[in-house]
């Protein structure tokens, strides 16, 4: 099994990290506590922080933030004509309506999206990528994907597959 092979290949003494130090302190001070979940969740949090910093650097190189990238990427991956209703954007990005309105306002000011009248609902609008928005997100997405490949390069393909399967299973407990 891939998971078993992955676990056998890892030499724990070689891979001590900051979380190990925290866990050792807890085990010293409160040996009755099972801190194994703290280790797992602490590592996930620390990995997320490192990954976020690295991603923000790439987004910044393209004049974006993770928030603006999220909106532009959602519009881009929706396919031609690269337009969605604000409600569809909300559902795809899982933010509040106020947050989405602010993001759209900022992107509109930057000339990356525009609000169009909704032909199916005269009271509504559609959010659409502008030509500059399409150009920007295509360049940023390519750089983002290359950066993601760089970030996981320390894992071989089988390790990536095993980690992905475990994370999928863990995420499914929440979704």
Say what the pLDDT of residue 43 is.
95
Q: Is residue 9 part of a domain?
A: no
Counting the structural domains of the chain, the total is 1
Q: What is the structure's pLDDT at 124?
A: 86
Whether residue 40 is contained in a domain is answered as no
Residue 39 falls within a domain, yes or no?
A: no
The domain in which residue 138 lies consists of: 63-175
The answer to whether position 173 is within a domain reads yes
pLDDT, mean over the chain: 91
90-125 burial string, b = 16+ CB within 10 Å, else e?
Answer: bebeebeeeebeebbeebeeeebbbeeeeeeeeeee
Distance from C-alpha of 54 to C-alpha of 147, rounded to nearest angstrom: 8
Digit-coded pLDDT (tens) for 80-94: 999 999 889 999 988
Q: Indicate if the alpha-carbon torsion angle 56, 14, 43, 149 is positive or negative.
A: positive
Residue 79 domain flag? yes
For residue 169, give the CATH number of its domain. Answer: 1.10.10.10
SS3 128: strand
Residue 70 lies in a domain: yes
The confidence score (pLDDT) of residue 151 equals 97
User: What pLDDT score does 126 carry?
Assistant: 95
Over residues 42-76, the pLDDT tens digits come to: 999 999 999 999 999 999 999 999 999 999 999 99
- Indicate whether 3 belongs to any domain: no
In this structure, is residue 16 part of a structural domain?
no
pLDDT at 15: 77
pLDDT of 9 reads 57
Contact 134, 73 (CB under 8 A): no
Residue ranges for the chain with pLDDT beneath 70: 1-14
């Amino acid at each position: 099994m891939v998971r078993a092979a992955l676990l056998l290949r890892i030499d724990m003494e070689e891979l001590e990290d900051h979380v190990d130090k925290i866990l050792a302190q807890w085990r010293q001070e409160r040996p009755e506590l099972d801190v194994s979940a703290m280790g797992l969740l602490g590592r996930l949090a620390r990995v997320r922080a490192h990954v976020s910093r690295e991603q923000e650097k790439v987004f910044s190189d393209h004049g974006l933030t993770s928030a603006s990238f999220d909106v532009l990427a959602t519009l881009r991956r929706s396919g031609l004509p690269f337009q969605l209703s604000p409600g569809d954007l909300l559902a795809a990005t899982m933010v509040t309506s106020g947050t989405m309105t602010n993001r759209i306002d900022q992107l509109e000011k930057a000339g990356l999206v525009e609000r169009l009248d909704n032909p199916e609902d005269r009271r509504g609008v559609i959010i659409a990528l502008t030509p500059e928005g399409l150009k920007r997100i295509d360049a940023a997405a390519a750089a983002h994907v290359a950066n993601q490949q760089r970030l996981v390069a320390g894992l071989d393909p089988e390790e990536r597959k095993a980690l992905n399967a475990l994370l999928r299973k863990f995420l499914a407990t929440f979704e």
